[in-house]
C-alpha cells in the first residue's frame, strides 16, 4: 500500500487530505517536502505532523484515532501536586527552549537513536524564534529537571515531546502547561498518538474526523502567544 502515499516532490507541493492517510502504518500520509516554517505551520493547521528517523525521508502523519486533552477539564493528580510542593519545583515558559528540545531528543531507556534528529531540532528552534513553538520548563533550584514543547496554532496547542529527570517532572510540566493554556483560553491540546504516559495524564481519544472538525473550529482563534510570559521570569503554580 506504500504506493498510495503521496510524494511531495517539490517545495510547495500541497498535502493530500488527511483522510487519505493509510490505515497501516496508521496515519502515514505523505513523504518528502521540507521542514520549512511555512510547511510545518500548514501541516499542523491541517492535523498533520512530521515523524521520521535520522537519515530517512521526511514522513508526514495524520493518525486515526487522535489523543487530545482539554485544558478546562484537566485535573492534576494528588501525587503530582505533592511532588511539586515537596520538592519546591518551579516553572518557566519559553526560557530554555533549546535545552528542552535537546533533552527531549536524548535517547531513552536504552534506545540508540531519536526521532528528534538534528534537522527536526533546527526546524523547531526556527519556529520558536518566529513565535510559533513554545516550551514549559520545570526547575529544581537551578537545575532543569523536566519540560515539554509544542506549537501554538490559534486556540490549539500541538504537543510534540516531553522529558523528565525526576519522577513526576514531566507530569508537573503538563500541569503547568494546562494551567497556562486555560488562562490563555486555549481550547484543546493535540497529543497526537495515545500511549501509556498520555493515558496516565487523562488523554481522551477522538476519531480523525472529529479531531479535524475541532481543529478547524479553533485554529484561527486569537490567542496571545506572542506575549506568553516571554517577558517574565520563573513563576509558581
pLDDT at position 2 over 60 = no
Q: If one looks up domain 2-63 in CATH, what number appears?
A: 3.30.70.3550
Is 30 in contact with 15 (CB distance < 8 Å)? yes
Span(s) in the chain for CATH 3.40.630.70: 67-227
Give the pLDDT confidence score for residue 112 in this predicted structure. Answer: 55
**CA 11 to CA 88: how far, in whole Å?**
48
Give the pLDDT confidence score for residue 231 in this predicted structure. Answer: 46
pLDDT digits (tens, 9 = 90+) for 148-206: 999 999 999 999 999 999 999 999 999 999 999 999 999 999 999 999 989 989 999 99
Q: How many CA atoms lie within 13 A of 107 on its CB side?
A: 7
The percentage of residues in the chain with a pLDDT greater than 70, rounded to a whole number, is 93
Residue 3 binned pLDDT confidence (cut-offs 50, 70, 90): very low
Span(s) in the chain for CATH 3.30.70.3550: 2-63
Give the pLDDT confidence score for residue 141 in this predicted structure. Answer: 94
- Rounded to 5, what percent of the chain is helix, strand, coil? 35, 25, 40
Give the pLDDT confidence score for residue 1 in this predicted structure. Answer: 42
DSSP state of 95: S
Mean pLDDT of the chain: 92
Give the pLDDT confidence score for residue 62 in this predicted structure. Answer: 98
Nine-digit cell string for 190: 493535540
Nearest to 76 by CA among 225, 1, 177: 177
Q: If one looks up domain 67-227 in CATH, what number appears?
A: 3.40.630.70
Give the pLDDT confidence score for residue 153 in this predicted structure. Answer: 98
pLDDT digits (tens, 9 = 90+) for 87-126: 999 999 999 999 999 999 998 765 555 789 999 999 999 9
Residue 227 binned pLDDT confidence (cut-offs 50, 70, 90): confident
CA 71, 74, 75, 76 torsion-angle sign: negative
Is 1 in contact with 24 (CB distance < 8 Å)? yes
Give the pLDDT confidence score for residue 237 in this predicted structure. Answer: 61
pLDDT digits (tens, 9 = 90+) for 115-162: 899 999 999 999 999 999 999 999 999 999 999 999 999 999 999 999
Longest dimension (CA), the chain: 54
Give the pLDDT confidence score for residue 10 in this predicted structure. Answer: 74
**CA 75 to CA 178: how far, in whole Å?**
9
Distances (CA, A) of 147 to 34, 137, 176, 200, 220: 27, 4, 10, 17, 27
Residue 82 binned pLDDT confidence (cut-offs 50, 70, 90): very high
pLDDT at position 234 over 60 = no
**CA 220 to CA 233: how far, in whole Å?**
29
Place of cell 528517523: 53
- Give, for 180, the enclosing helix (H) or strand (E): helix 169-184
What's the rounded mean pLDDT across residues 25-46? 96
Residues 6+ apart with CB under 8 A from 70: 187, 188, 189, 204
Amino acid at each position: 500500500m506504500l504506493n498510495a502515499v503521496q510524494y511531495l516532490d517539490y517545495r510547495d507541493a500541497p498535502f493530500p487530505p488527511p483522510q487519505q492517510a493509510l490505515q497501516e502504518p496508521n496515519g502515514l500520509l505523505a513523504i518528502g517536502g521540507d521542514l520549512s516554517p511555512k510547511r510545518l505551520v500548514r501541516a499542523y493547521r491541517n492535523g498533520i505532523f512530521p515523524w521520521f528517523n535520522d537519515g530517512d525521508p521526511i514522513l508526514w502523519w495524520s493518525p486515526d484515532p487522535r489523543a487530545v486533552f482539554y485544558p478546562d477539564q484537566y485535573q492534576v493528580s494528588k501525587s503530582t501536586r505533592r511532588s511539586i510542593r515537596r520538592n519546591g519545583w518551579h516553572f518557566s515558559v519559553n526560557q530554555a527552549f533549546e535545552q528542552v528540545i535537546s533533552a527531549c531528543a536524548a535517547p531513552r531507556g536504552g534506545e540508540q537513536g531519536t526521532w528528534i534528529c538534528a534537522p527536526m531540532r533546527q526546524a523547531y528552534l526556527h519556529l520558536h524564534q518566529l513565535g510559533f513553538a513554545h516550551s514549559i520548563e520545570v526547575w529544581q533550584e537551578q537545575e532543569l529537571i523536566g519540560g515539554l514543547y509544542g506549537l501554538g496554532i490559534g486556540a490549539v496547542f500541538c504537543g510534540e515531546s516531553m522529558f523528565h529527570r525526576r519522577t513526576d517532572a514531566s507530569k508537573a510540566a503538563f500541569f503547568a502547561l494546562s494551567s497556562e493554556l486555560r488562562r490563555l483560553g486555549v481550547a484543546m491540546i493535540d497529543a497526537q498518538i495515545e500511549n501509556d504516559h498520555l493515558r496516565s495524564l487523562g488523554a481522551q481519544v477522538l476519531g480523525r474526523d472529529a479531531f479535524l472538525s475541532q481543529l478547524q473550529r479553533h485554529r484561527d482563534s486569537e490567542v496571545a502567544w506572542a506575549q506568553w510570559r516571554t517577558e517574565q521570569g520563573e513563576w509558581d503554580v
